[in-house]
Structure formats: C-alpha cells, structure tokens
Structure 1
Amino acid sequence: MKYPWLDEYCKSKLGAEKDFKVEWDATRYLIGGKMFAMQGGDKNKKAIITLKCHPQFGRSLRKDYKDVVAGYYMNKEHWNSVYLDGDVPDNILKQMIDMSYESVLSSLSKKKQMEIIG
C-alpha cells in the first residue's frame, strides 16, 4: 500500500472507532456509530478506501485522478473509492478523509456531536 499513514490518520480523528466487517472483508472507520471510511478491496481484490465527499468535489476528483472512482458498492453521488496503489497525492487523500469525517460528524445529532467533540 502506498499510504502507510492511512490507518493512523483515520484513527486519529476525534471519536473515531475502527472495526472489521467480516461479511464485507473490510475495515471500517466510524464516528458515532456511522461509517466515514471503509478500506477493503474491489471485485478483483484490489485495495481501495471509500470516502464520503461533497458530490461536486467527488466528480472533480474523478475527472482529475484515474485512481478515484465512484464509490464501490456505495451511493455513487456521495461516495468515492480511491485505489491505494494509485497516484492520488497524500494531501488530496487526507482532504477526502477530512471531508468524509466532517460530513458524517455533522449528520449526527447535536447531542452526539457534543459527546464526541466536547
């Protein structure tokens, strides 16, 4: 994998939890019980991470980077998958992780958000 920092970066998010979903053969990163990132493989077992992005930003990334595709097994409007052996710059992938985390965090109830961020 080209991004050795990926796991630690996802786990470093405030309130982030990590689990492994056996049925999906995928590692999930959650906030408040909701997934903000999923690391697994495509139908050919090629390593990917799937993240939630604003639709316009996601479409732009798909145009700019061949290794960003519509979310694998996810809502294609909001989720994007990044091939982990590709050429997406670290700062762009971190931006995608940050956006996904913030998007899912903001979808939680205000009470739950306060429990997480204090």
Structure 2
Amino acid sequence: MNIEILRDYCISKPDVTEGFPFGEDTLVFKVKGKIFALANLKGELSINLKCDPELAIELRERYSSVIPGYHMNKKHWNTVIIDGSISDDLLLEWIDHSYELVSNPKRNKNSSLKKK
C-alpha cells in the first residue's frame, strides 16, 4: 500500500475531511470533525488508527508492524507500519474499523472486527 491508495480510500468515506493540523509530515483524516486516522509521511509510511482496546492488544501481539499508537492514547490507538507485512485488505479493514468507531461511537460499543 502507498500513500495515494491510503488517502483515496480514507477520503472516499462519507463526511471525511483531510488536513495537516500537526505539520506537513502528518496527514490527518477526520470524520464529523474527529480524527480516525493519521498518516506519517516522513520516513517509513505508517498510519495511526483507533481500535477497540482488547483488539488493539491482540493485533500488537500478532503483528510486529502493529505497535502502540505513537503520540496517541495507547489504549485506543495503534500505529501500523506499512512495510508490506500486512495485506492491503486487512489494512483497509482496520481503517474501516477506526472510521466506524469514531463516526458511530454508541453503535460500535460492542463492535467486533473479524480476527484473521
């Protein structure tokens, strides 16, 4: 996955805006004014995604390219290093999960993501 595909996917979702509130190295995606993804554009491409807390821990244990969210609440955010070790389909699924958690927080209290 590259930044163009990642960006196109994120902005294709309803009510999404993008911007650089933290400087030119971090592309931020918001839904209804709330952040659901942050892409690091300097150095190795990575993305911070919101995640169900229990699932966040499981993903970190399962995938070496998933680490606690850089500069984020480690309970609710993961940083995914986009180095080819995670399939594009799985990464897009995680983006969907983050988007849903942020855009519909009450509906997604018991949200589950397919475990792969």
Moved over 3 A (4+): none
> How far did 1:86 drift?
3.8
Tell me what 1:111 maps to. none
Q: How does 1:1-118 map to 2 (within 5 A)?
A: 2-3=1-2, 4-23=4-23, 25-40=25-40, 45-107=43-105
Whose helix fraction is larger, Structure 1's or Structure 2's? 1
Q: Secondary structure at the match of 1:99?
A: helix
Q: Secondary structure at the match of 1:100?
A: helix
Contact 1:67/1:86 (8 A) holds in 2: no
TM, length-normalised to structure 1 = 0.79
Q: Please, which runs of 5 or more residues in structure 1 have no aligned partner?
A: 109-118
Q: Please, which runs of 5 or more residues in structure 2 have no aligned partner?
A: 107-116
RMSD: 1.9
Q: Secondary structure at the match of 1:38?
A: strand
TM, length-normalised to structure 2 = 0.81
Structure-2 separation of matches of 1:48 and 1:8: 15
Identity %: 37
> How far did 1:82 drift?
0.6
